[in-house]
Chain A
Amino acid sequence: MNSALGFAFSVLGLSASVFGALGGVYALVRRTPHLLTTIRQWAGLVIIAAVGCFVVMEVALFQRDYTVKFVQLVGSDATPPLFNFAALWSALEGSIILWTFILAGYVGAYLWKFRKQITDPLHGWTLVVLLTICAFFFALMVGPSNPFTEVAVPANFVGQGPNPLLQNHVLVAFHPPMLYLGFVGFSVPFAFAIAALITGRVGEGWLVETRRWTVAAWAFLTLGIVLGAWWSYEVLGWGGYWAWDPVENASLLPWLTGTAYLHSVMVQERRGMLRVWNLSLLCSTFALTILGTFLSRSGVVDSVHAFSEGGVGPWMLAFFAVVSAVSVGLIAWRGDRLRSPGAIDSPLSREASFLANNVIFGALAFVVLLGTVFPLLAEAYDDTRLTIGRPYFDSMARPIAFVMLFLMAAAPVLPWRKASGELLSERLFWPAVIGVGSMFVAIVLGARGFYPMLTFGLGGFAAGAALRQVALATRRQGWRGFVGRTNGGMIVHLGVVLLAVGVASSEAYKTDRTATLLPGQSMEVAGHTFTYDSFAGDETSARIKIWANVRIDGDEVYTPAQTRYTQRGMIVPTPSVKPGFTEDLFLVLDDAPRNGDVTAPIRLRVVVRPMITWLWAGGALMGFGSLLAIFPGRRRRGTEPVSAAVTTAAERDPVPA
């Protein structure tokens, strides 16, 4: 029943998106606006189909309907409701359902926002592109990764449940949907960009329309990545939060190009420059979300989150190739309309600094992409087996991060066009004092080491520049100055500074010790005493959990645990963390007596990481800043003396496509 219904919804979705897209193209080419409005009905059907697939799969999971292939794969009688709900995205086929569901949600939001302008060819083409993307994902669900396939149920089947790592922490319910909201969210600005290229309306109009969509997608992606790092820290028990794992890199790549785009787009809005560049950045951001999905979901790279099924790999790669070819082709075709009317006047200007930002984000994206795919290429080329891991990425990303922090300090104070040395000296003075002041405080508190100190200094400098902007905006306009893009952006910058300081201190000043302890014995790490009190256990049908009661500084008891999931026979350590503003104490039970012998020794690993909570706080602040940036800012009167973008002849006399 569920199986047939789910498949019916997939087929409905596929046909509705194909017919909608084809009908839209026909109506647009023939210029028949009344025909174009039917695209709304097709899109409505696509939304119904996507919601249908999602609901049917959740119902099947909750009914433990093991005749559905996917439920047999990730469902189990014993999984608690929250993790059963989240089991939908714990394997490949289900995550495609989630992707399609979110994409349909964006289509719905889009239809609602632009419901009055649907006959405008720009919006028509945007919907055509969005429906084409929907068609691709429904095709995956109908073809190579059909989650609804009906299978026979073995006798006494109770199911394995999702991967134990994915039923161990509540963050599993938030990190993947957040990340997908970000990934999929870039489809809307991408579709707009393609529509602008097709219609030839490549001016600044579509940029202004998509601004908030892009910021929202970026914010979701940021939160998704930070939540992923937090989950990794709280669950995986290796004591870190970012491993430069291929799947982490795949999520970082579109974030980097998206961040570059959010900055350089302001140059185009203001000065009409960098059109080809911005379109390329936006198209690459979307293409990289597809490439990332290919890398992580096709089994070509080894990673803790790679799903092993390989069926969709070639499809994803083909879709990536089509997206890239179409983008490049259209940009080349519209090349004559994309010529910039302006030029950058001075290296000391807002636009030059945004361009520098793009170079540096591009460099980091290049390094991350290279490090991720190079082992594959090398192996294909001459069977060289090599690993590119953390030390490589760390040593490459570090200098780039310092340049980013420096630009975050200098760029926000730069005016458009050009700046004088005097102006810079005046505006950068207090930020520089804050930067030097932070280093002084760090030295007094006993911090040492070149890299952390440079981070504190540049971080203080950047925070000073951001605070200066916030202070000016609010002094002039009161609370109203606090919302809007400029100020929201500065709050995001403050979040980045917190994050950078958190990364630098938690890496440089981390202490990591492992000891074997008998009951009653203690270990000393970084000025704290950890006493192993006693040992306990608890058993349910799904899992056996054992834990050690460890007393920290003779006071509170923490319980690092190990959980053995009976169905999959997998042992998962559950760290116990004592978080704090200045330092986190992270306990992992490395080894425990198997036979329940309470007098046997345990092996306990303790990692002390200073200021790691600053990282999570920084992520939250980045999300908050994005929210402020999405909120409509102060309305600038069109008459205020800013330099308007110079329009080209092509835009003044638009040629209908």
Chain B
Amino acid sequence: MSDATTTAKSSKRSLSAQLGLWIALAVAAVSMLSIATFDDRGPETTEERIQRLSDSFACPECDGQSVSESNAAVAATIRALIRDRVAEGMSDTEIRDELIRGYSSDVLLNPPSEGISALVWILPVVFVVFGVGGWIAAVRRTGGGTRTATDDDRQLVADALDGGHDTPDGGRDDAS
């Protein structure tokens, strides 16, 4: 991209005017996100709760599909059981515990956060922490700042002034 046009444009708008525009955009974004969040459909309806619960249990016979997706008989049984228990006023945890007792712990699609399966939740966080740490280390490493021109660099410039040559590949077109 041509930096000349960029600077020409930015000089038209002063820095403080730019800052103002950005603040306005940020305020607009935050307010729309808030509208979207708080003007939502209101508290969860019973139907939505049943759907959410059915989404979170695995059908014991169908390779990791949830009971809400599966067409198997046992999935229909569990769906009916969830509907009954919700109607009886049981809490999510009570329903969960009953299903674990009735089937086994692998009826949960979301691995529990205690015991060995806690690792599934912890390890990704560790990965991200190390990844971000590595990124920070990489971008803060000094040494690239004050490099002097080598003979190769001078040669490159000299070639350019001579009229130059095409790159063999011609594909280094990732300009910006």
The contact string, 1 if C-beta is below 8 Å from chain B, for chain A 268-310, is 0110000000000000000000000000000000111010000
Interface presence of B46 (CB below 8 A): no
Is B135's CB under 8 angstroms from A356's CB? yes
State the Cβ distance, A120 to closest chain B Cβ, in Å: 14
Is B120's CB under 8 angstroms from A344's CB? no
CB nearest neighbor in A for B56: A391
Residues of A within 8 A of B171 (CB): 208, 211-212, 484-485, 632-633
Is B58's CB under 8 angstroms from A389's CB? yes
Interface presence of A184 (CB below 8 A): no
Q: How far is the CA of A84 from the CA of B107 in the complex (A)?
A: 38
Q: How far is the CA of A443 from the CA of B35 in the complex (A)?
A: 8
- Count of A-B residue pairs with CB < 8 Å: 242
Residues of B within 8 A of A439 (CB): 28-29, 32-33, 36
Chain A positions 421-440 with a Cβ under 8 Å from a chain B Cβ: 422-423, 425-427, 429, 432-433, 435-436, 439-440
CB nearest neighbor in B for A432: B25
Interface presence of A390 (CB below 8 A): yes
Q: Given the known A-B contacts A384-B116, A457-B29, are A346 and B175 also in contact in the complex, defined by CB atoms under 8 Å?
A: no
Interface presence of A382 (CB below 8 A): yes
How many residues of B are counted as interface, with CB atoms below 8 angstroms from the partner's CB atoms?
Answer: 81
Is B21's CB under 8 angstroms from A429's CB? yes
Interface presence of B37 (CB below 8 A): yes
Main secondary structure of the interface of A (DSSP, over half): helix
Is A469's CB under 8 angstroms from B176's CB? yes
Residues of A within 8 A of B9 (CB): 426
Is A374's CB under 8 angstroms from B173's CB? no
Residues of B within 8 A of A486 (CB): 173-176
Q: Given the known A-B contacts A439-B29, A486-B176, A636-B175, are A386 and B164 also in contact in the complex, defined by CB atoms under 8 Å?
A: no
Is B109's CB under 8 angstroms from A388's CB? yes
Most buried by B among A370, A389, A641: A389
Q: How far is the CA of A447 from the CA of B37 in the complex (A)?
A: 10
State the Cβ distance, A411 to closest chain B Cβ, in Å: 10
Is A443's CB under 8 angstroms from B71's CB? no
Residues of A within 8 A of B29 (CB): 435-436, 439, 457
Residue among B104, B124, B138 making CB contact with A366, cutoff 8 Å:
B124
Q: How far is the CA of A239 from the CA of B15 in the complex (A)?
A: 51
30 contacts between A and B (CB under 8 A): A208-B171, A212-B171, A239-B69, A269-B174, A342-B144, A343-B144, A344-B138, A345-B144, A355-B135, A359-B128, A363-B124, A367-B124, A374-B119, A384-B116, A387-B111, A389-B64, A389-B109, A392-B111, A396-B124, A426-B10, A426-B18, A429-B22, A436-B32, A472-B1, A484-B173, A486-B173, A486-B174, A632-B170, A638-B167, A647-B152
A residues sitting closer than 8 Å to B (CB atoms) are: 208, 211-212, 237-240, 243-246, 266, 269-270, 302-304, 306, 342-347, 349-350, 352, 355-356, 359-360, 362-363, 366-367, 370-371, 374-375, 378, 381-382, 384-392, 395-396, 412-416, 422-423, 425-427, 429, 432-433, 435-436, 439-440, 442-443, 447-450, 452-454, 457, 469, 472, 484-486, 489, 512, 573, 590, 632-639, 641-642, 644, 646-647, 652
Known: A245-B64, A414-B176; 17 extra A-B contacts, CB below 8 A, are A238-B70, A243-B64, A347-B136, A356-B135, A359-B131, A363-B131, A381-B116, A384-B117, A391-B55, A391-B109, A457-B32, A457-B33, A486-B176, A632-B170, A637-B166, A638-B164, A639-B160
